[in-house]
Amino acid sequence: MVVDNKKGRVCVTGGTGFLGSWTIKRLLEDGYYVNTTTRIDPERKRDISFLTNLPGASERLQIFNADLDKPETFAVAIEGCTGVFHMAHPLDFAEKEEEDVKIKRVTTGLQGILQACADSKTVRRVVYTSSISAAAFSTTAGSGLIDENCWTDVDFIRSLKTFGGQYIVTKTLAEKAAIDYAEKLGLDLVSVIPTWTTGPFICPHMPDSVYVSMALIFGDKAHYQHVKDTSLIHVDDVARAHIHLFEYPEAKGRYICSAVEFTIEELCDLISARYPEYQMPNPESWKDIIPVKFSGLSTKKLEETGFKYKNGLAEMFDGAIKCCKEKGLL
């Protein structure tokens, strides 16, 4: 691997996650020096060999412990970096904790991270990982496309008491806080707004979003609502979009990042054609399900920066299925 010393050192928070670990892999392949944060593990019981064994990791990856509940812990990982990719976020779809606790965690964590970026005097841009959840449930989009001007209406989401509601609210408030704090600190912050993300994974656990994307294969009817009328993006395209927006000098504001929109029937056809061994459910089983729609998204702003998606649905499902099989998850 040829290392381009001009690429410099960047920090990825949430390095053990689905997207965080894949982004580290991509950054190392691109020649970057990478600092990453993982949650505090005083007894060092956690196996992070999937990170330390990455090509280039022994020379160019440094791992630090940090927790959003202890915002000051991120500073040492950020010191000396030119960029920060802030991806750490508590997912907790089971909603074991109160919404207020999570909002406090992500916003105080963000404050600590952005303050450390400002104090470092070396960070030239923060790339913040938001989510389509922060834009898609907007009451201002009307019947038009969802674009970067749209913000989810958190009161509306709270009133629905729906699956993932706390996540949607937390991501919306966190992105607003990130933009607000960055402005106050005079930091250059760009938000990436990915839709559901799937594909291969190097982390040992089954990522929640990969599991949801494979609801038809796992026969998990509870998630048919999430694949009925929606969009997906390959994890490598999300990682590449983050790096592209870090490197693209004129990047500014928010960027929706979504590769393919599809219906559940189209997804069924694709899986049946490529993987006839998986019995697809009868269309009757989803007939009356109301979809959680992540479609009608405008991706023009990202494409206008010259970014190109490299993967379609076939690559996403080939990657996800291969990894699940290799890890004994399917």
In this chain, which of 166, 197, 231, 298 binds ligand NAP, going by CB under 6 A?
197
16 binds ligand NAP (CB under 6 A): yes
Q: What is the DSSP string of 230-272?
A: EEEEEHHHHHHHHHHHHH-TT--EEEEE--EEEEHHHHHHHHH
The CA-atom distances, in angstroms, between 22 and each of 14, 50, 51, 130, 212 are 11, 10, 9, 17, 19
Nearer to ligand NAP, 36 or 60 (CB): 36
**Minimum distance between the CB of residue 290 and ligand NAP, rounded to whole angstroms?**
20
Enumerate residues 6+ apart whose C-beta is below 8 A from 100: none
67 binds ligand NAP (CB under 6 A): yes
Enumerate residues 6+ apart whose C-beta is below 8 A from 49: none
Q: Are 242 and 23 in contact (CB under 8 A)?
A: yes
- State the DSSP code for 146: B
**Minimum distance between the CB of residue 287 and ligand NAP, rounded to whole angstroms?**
26
Q: Which stretch binds ligand NAP (CB under 6 A): 2-10, 16-24, 151-159, 259-267?
A: 16-24
Q: What is the CA radius of gyration of the chain?
A: 19
In this chain, which of 17, 71, 199, 319 binds ligand NAP, going by CB under 6 A?
17
**Minimum distance between the CB of residue 265 and ligand NAP, rounded to whole angstroms?**
22
89 binds ligand NAP (CB under 6 A): yes
Q: What is the DSSP string of 172-195?
A: HHHHHHHHHHHHHHT--EEEEEE-
Q: CA 52, 309, 57: angle at the middle one, nearest 5?
A: 10
176 binds ligand NAP (CB under 6 A): no
In this chain, which of 194, 199, 200, 319 binds ligand NAP, going by CB under 6 A?
194
Closest CA to 83 of 30, 46, 133, 162: 30
Size of the site for ligand NAP (CB under 6 A): 24
Q: 10 Å Cβ neighbour count for 158?
A: 14
28 binds ligand NAP (CB under 6 A): no
Helices (H), 5-98: 18-29, 49-52, 57-60, 75-78
Nearer to ligand NAP, 68 or 264 (CB): 68
In this chain, which of 131, 152, 166, 258 binds ligand NAP, going by CB under 6 A?
131
Q: Are 173 and 214 in contact (CB under 8 A)?
A: no
Q: Which stretch binds ligand NAP (CB under 6 A): 9-17, 28-36, 154-162, 275-283?
A: 9-17
Nearer to ligand NAP, 186 or 199 (CB): 199
Nearer to ligand NAP, 115 or 209 (CB): 209
Q: Which stretch binds ligand NAP (CB under 6 A): 24-32, 63-71, 240-248, 308-316?
A: 63-71
Q: Which stretch binds ligand NAP (CB under 6 A): 50-58, 88-96, 284-292, 298-306?
A: 88-96
Nearer to ligand NAP, 87 or 157 (CB): 87
Task: Report which residue type is found at 161.
Answer: K
Residue 26 structure tokens: 């991509």
For ligand NAP, the binding residues (CB under 6 A) are: 14, 16-20, 39, 67-69, 87-91, 105, 129, 131, 171, 194, 196-197, 207, 209
